[in-house]
Chains A and B, each alone.
Chain A
Amino acid sequence: MKAEDIENYLFQLGQELQKRGIQEPVHILIIGGAYMLLLTNTARNTDDIDIFWLEEEEGLQRALRPLQDGVIAVAERNQIDPNWLNYMTQLLMYDLVIIPDGDLWKAFGPLHIYAPPQEYILALKIFAGREKDIEDCKILLQQMGIITRQQAQVLLDHYILPDAQKNNTETIERSLNILFGKEQQLAKDGGAEQ
């Protein structure tokens, strides 16, 4: 999926929601590879559009079925994966991270797409720690001018809940070690013991 495909599919989804009688705005936050493509101008493809819901329970309950049906209709029309709009990350992380409101990026009919700050995406990607996340982290670090492990830790502390950091220490440490080097941390630990 390229940047223009993403916008095209979201536009179609907005139309599908309208067809299904949705008038109240449905708010979603764009994250993951789609965010990298659309909002950091990174030259890469993505398999799907990762999102977080910004709806409260009642709104989500109301919008969920029309959204799921709309997503399938767009998938069938364009012959793409029915999971092209993917909220698995939210299911995985919903009680582990802060979800910011973000800024309105674009509206396609009732479908309102919000974008979080770059620092949020960086924190999520350090937390997730897969190979492709690390590659994206390198781009984000450069764009944001973040050069130290401590700066990155501040972002983690802001967006990743303390218990989640504690229960996922290994992954986070691994990400930080790759991005900022292990030696620096070892030296810091050694220094703290003295």
Chain B
Amino acid sequence: MIANIKTIQTMARAYQQICAGEEPWVALGNFRNAWYGYGKDDRFALVREPVLEPEQHTIHTRRWAAFCAASVDFLCERYNVPCPEWVHNSRYILTAPWWPEHARDLSTRIQLMRTTPQAFTRRHIFCGNRLYQNKYEMSEWVQEARARGITNPGEIFRYAREKEISIHGG
């Protein structure tokens, strides 16, 4: 059980901050810190509450609501946490796809379509597969490599990346 649920960065809180003008990657980065760090013993508490969309929605609020739902779907599946029902609401499927700014040519888009996890593509978000890289896990794998006697920095990195790919697929 997390001690101070009112102060921790739940997904609902992150979304609320995004709608209030916070930089999305800051709000979601804080959520990620909770998920991988101080809140990891009760992850369901971080995602149970649905995001609350403002009455006057915009493309920005719609997109980020869908992104939050996709993130919860993705993380719950990956870390065997029960997935809350709210993420499956069809309002979180974007009617117009969301590509990163740089994805203006078809080959980049096809590549993103292939690498983006299904939790995101199902909602028409094509963001690639490196958004929820876990620096905490990375650090553990680096230590694990060293414990195995690997000293070359390049080989340590390769070991950690292979672990990452084997678990997260990218």
Contact = CB atoms under 8 A, between A and B. Distances in A.
A94 B98 CA distance: 10
Given A88-B113, A91-B97, A91-B124, A61 B105 contact: no
A174 to B, nearest CB: 12
Contacts of B106: 92-93, 96, 127-128, 168, 171
Given A94-B97, A168-B106, 13 more contacts: A57-B95, A57-B96, A61-B90, A61-B95, A64-B93, A88-B113, A91-B124, A92-B106, A92-B110, A92-B113, A96-B106, A168-B105, A171-B107
Contacts of A76: none
Nearest to B106: A168
B104 interface: yes
B90 A65 contact: yes
Contacts of A128: 106
Interface of B: 90-91, 93, 95-97, 104-107, 109-110, 113, 124, 126
Interface string A141-176: 000000000000000000000011001100100000
A60 interface: yes
A163 B105 CA distance: 10
8 A-B pairs closest in CB distance: A65-B90, A167-B104, A91-B97, A167-B105, A60-B95, A57-B95, A168-B105, A92-B109
A137 to B, nearest CB: 16
A127 B106 CA distance: 9
A64 B96 contact: no
20 contacts: A57-B96, A60-B95, A61-B90, A61-B95, A64-B93, A65-B90, A65-B93, A91-B97, A91-B113, A91-B126, A92-B106, A92-B110, A92-B113, A95-B96, A96-B106, A167-B105, A168-B105, A168-B106, A171-B106, A171-B107
